[in-house]
Amino acid sequence: MTATSLEEPPAPDGPPGADRPPPSRARRRRPRPGVRTGLLLLPPMLWLGVAYLGALAALLITAFWSQDDFTGEIQRVWTLDNFRQLFTIDVYRTITVRTLLIAALVTVVDAVLAFPIALYMAKVASARAQRLLVIAVLMPLWASYLVKAYAWRAMLSENGLISWLLAPFGLDTPGYGLVATTVTLAYLWLPYMILPVFAGLERLPGSLLEASSDLGAHSWTTLRRVVLPMAFPAIVAGSIFTFSLSMGDFIAVTIVGGTGQLLGNVVYNNVGAANNLPFAAAVATIPIAVMLVYLAVVRRTGALENL
Amino acid sequence: MTQISRGLRAVLVGFTALVLVVIYTPLLLVLLNSFNADKTFTWPPSELTLHWWDVAAHSTGARSALWTSVEVALAATAVSLVLGTLAALALRPTRFFGRNVISLLIILPIALPGIVTGIALSNMFTTVLGVGLSLFTVVVAHATFCIVTVFNNVQARVQRLGSNYEQASMDLGAGRWTTFRLVTFPMLRSALLAGALLSFGLSFDEIVVTTFTISATDQTLPIWIFQNLFRPNQAPVVNVVAAVLVLLSAVPIYLAQRLSGSHAEGLTGAR
């Protein structure tokens, strides 16, 4: 089940090789499959393989160039200065660590919130309730990203709803800062976690739960030892989105983040205000490297097939 | 289901209800806020009015940004429909060397943070190719990460249906193109519509990649909202636009439900 697909997953227990064409007359008339595949792949591969990968490669190269402080022109001379600054200036190290921690925290919060909801949707709710819940979870996904971030700004303000709700308990709103950023990002990306986990749990055969129960396991034990391990690849699939989206965000940070900066803001400020594209490119290599390592690690869990 | 104890069931129901309340509270506040007489939003609102809806209806900035967004989203969707479908058809039954690499390449634009996609494409357009930023560059950027939604939908459909119908068609003497037109395409139609819907939504709402690939003079709706968010005089208009977007989000949900029958579980925008 793909997070970006409306389709139900293909039947897992279909006969192997059902799609294999029988040796028939039709087969002889076809051009060689390799040629056909190649022709079909040519346009998308030109677009993604040449243009997109080319753009990423050019970005990496730009990261090794520098910027003339006076003219603002890019100087096409190889230098490691950008990376040296990135790794030696404390503020960038702080921002990198902060960004990774917040992205990880948002992912954990979303996984913890999403799992029970997805479990309820997939294995407890009636067919009708399940349909309604899917809609209820999807609706906010289609509401604009900015609108939701802005709503949190209003809620977190001194005169906002959270302050009003917490006042009787002697508490106050966290205001704008890293807590607000984490809460807002977790809110924004929650559906991206719920949906893959729901799809994963829906595929989990009910007979497994029955078997576990027949063998005397309490339902909490079944949950911990059967459901959770089987849902793990789906949770990891969801985490790719929540982690990556959090790591690159700078808009929500601008809206509710107060003075706390993330990597995205550093990139944005260096492209815009500071007009130092080479340094921005060097900063952007951090999320690229982190995501490539992350994707390589999670490949083993089968998460990529759950995307 | 009998294997889930009553206690666990109660916990799940309560938890789900609680999270749904948290999910909907901000959205309802946005709706309420659009009727707020005060320019700054304070809870609880003191007085309600329809005035800002009237002002927003006459906001030329918001309206032209809306149309720009629609145009960009339509163009990006068209490109990603073609490229995503080709890729999905190419990858179907064949297993070949590099297949996994190609799948990874298709998901890469959404797996990498938007800021990376944005700055990489922006850098390519301005520094490498010397093309000025415009709505064209926005469409190219959006199409790049929309391909995956079409690809996923079409691929799931062709995997589910297999190739028996097409083989039957060709056994009966239809050529490759006739088979595509009369057999393959009709089978894919609803998957294509679903993919198109997701692409449109993804492009329509995109701001990070857009920020880096749009010219200073063009505005999509998210860019317009972001630029007016912190202007005190525009805030009430932004509130109304926000409310309209919340209400409009019901449309794709309705369409997706109609398209997909009982299976709408994967309807995410991926970003």
- ipTM summary value: 0.87
CB B269 within 8 A of CB B202: yes
**What's the distance, CA B22 to chain centroid?**
23
Check residue A239 and give its pLDDT: 95
Mutation choice for A interface testing from B16, B19, B176 by most A CBs within 10 A: B16
Check residue A38 and give its pLDDT: 82
Pairwise CA distance, residues B164 & B160, whole Å: 11
Mean pLDDT of A77-99: 89
Interface contact flag, A143 B191, Cβ < 8 Å = no
A205 touches chain B (CB under 8 A): no
Residues in chain A: 307
Check residue B271 and give its pLDDT: 31
How many domains is chain B partitioned into structurally?
A: 1
What is the band of A168 on the pLDDT scale with cuts at 50, 70, 90? confident
Looking at beta carbons, which residues of chain A come within 8 Å of B43? Answer: 154-155, 159-161, 163-164
Is B58 contained in some domain?
A: no
Q: Which of A15-19, A50-54, B267-271 has the highest mean pLDDT?
A: A50-54
- A64 — phi, psi (to 5°)? -100, 5
A1 touches chain B (CB under 8 A): yes
Check residue B94 and give its pLDDT: 63
Q: What percent of chain B has pLDDT over 90?
A: 41
Structure tokens at A10: 């293909």
Q: Could you tell me which residue, B46 or A87, shows the higher pLDDT?
A: A87
Read off the pLDDT of residues A107-116 as tens digits, 9 standing for 90 and up: 999 999 999 9
A8 touches chain B (CB under 8 A): yes
CB B229 within 8 A of CB A151: no
For CA atoms A298, A301, A305, A307, give the dihedral sign: negative
Interface contact flag, B249 A157, Cβ < 8 Å = no
What is the band of A11 on the pLDDT scale with cuts at 50, 70, 90? very low
CATH number at residue B107: 1.10.3720.10
Is B51 contained in some domain?
A: no
Burial-class residue A17 by CB neighbours within 10 Å (0-12, 13-18, 19+).
exposed
Interface contact flag, B3 A210, Cβ < 8 Å = yes
Residues whose CB falls within 8 Å of the CB of residue B96, separated by 6 or more in sequence, listed in order:
A34, A37
Mean pLDDT of B38-59: 77
Read off the pLDDT of residues B235-260 as tens digits, 9 standing for 90 and up: 888 889 988 988 888 888 888 777 76
Indicate whether B72 pLDDT > 90: yes
What's the domain range around B175? 72-270
Indicate whether B2 pLDDT > 70: no
Interior angle at CA A194, CA A193 and CA A195, nearest 5 = 95
Annotate chain A with three-state secondary structure: CCCCCCCCCCCCCCCCCCCCCCCCHHHHHCCCHHHHHHHHHHHHHHHHHHHHHHHHHHHHHHCCCEECCCCCCEECCCCCHHHHHHHHCHHHHHHHHHHHHHHHHHHHHHHHHHHHHHHHHHHHCCHHHHHHHHHHHHHHHHCCHHHHHHHHHHHHCCCCHHHHHHHHHCCCCCCCCHHHHHHHHHHHHHHHHHHHHHHHHHHCCHHHHHHHHHCCCCHHHHHHHHHHHHHHHHHHHHHHHHHHHHHHCCHHHHHHCCCCCCHHHHHHHHHCCCCCHHHHHHHHHHHHHHHHHHHHHHHHHCHHHHC
Single-letter amino acid code for the residue at B114: G
Looking at beta carbons, which residues of chain B come within 8 Å of A280? Answer: 119
DSSP assignment letter at B131: P
Read off the pLDDT of residues B159-194 as tens digits, 9 standing for 90 and up: 888 788 888 888 898 888 898 889 888 889 888 998
Check residue A16 and give its pLDDT: 45
CB A292 within 8 A of CB B111: no
Mutation choice for A interface testing from B265, B267, B271 by most A CBs within 10 A: B265
Read off the pLDDT of residues B83-141 as tens digits, 9 standing for 90 and up: 999 999 888 766 666 777 888 889 899 899 999 999 999 999 988 888 889 999 999 99
Check residue A74 and give its pLDDT: 76
Sketch the domain layout of chain A as residue ranges.
80-301
Check residue A307 and give its pLDDT: 66
Nearest-Cα residue of chain A relative to residue B84 = A44
Name the β-bridge partners of A67.
Answer: A74
Q: Could you tell me which residue, B59 or B82, shows the higher pLDDT?
A: B82
Nearest-Cα residue of chain B relative to residue A43 = B83
Q: What is the mean pLDDT of chain A?
A: 84
Shortest CA gap B186–chain A (Å): 16
Is B41 contained in some domain?
A: no
Indicate whether A75 pLDDT > 80: no
Check residue A1 and give its pLDDT: 38
CB A29 within 8 A of CB B170: yes
Mutation choice for B interface testing from A37, A134, A142 by most B CBs within 10 A: A142
**Superfamily holding A80-301:** MetI-like (1.10.3720.10)
Interface contact flag, A117 B256, Cβ < 8 Å = no
B260 touches chain A (CB under 8 A): yes
Structure tokens at B142: 């959006």
- Residue B44 preceded by cis peptide, ω within 30: yes
Mean pLDDT of B49-67: 85
Is B55 contained in some domain?
A: no
Shortest CA gap A72–chain B (Å): 13
The backbone region for B162, taken as left when phi is positive above 0, alpha when psi lies in -120 to 50, beta otherwise, is left
Check residue B260 and give its pLDDT: 63
Indicate whether B8 pLDDT > 90: no
Looking at beta carbons, which residues of chain B come within 8 Å of A8? Answer: 156, 160, 263, 265
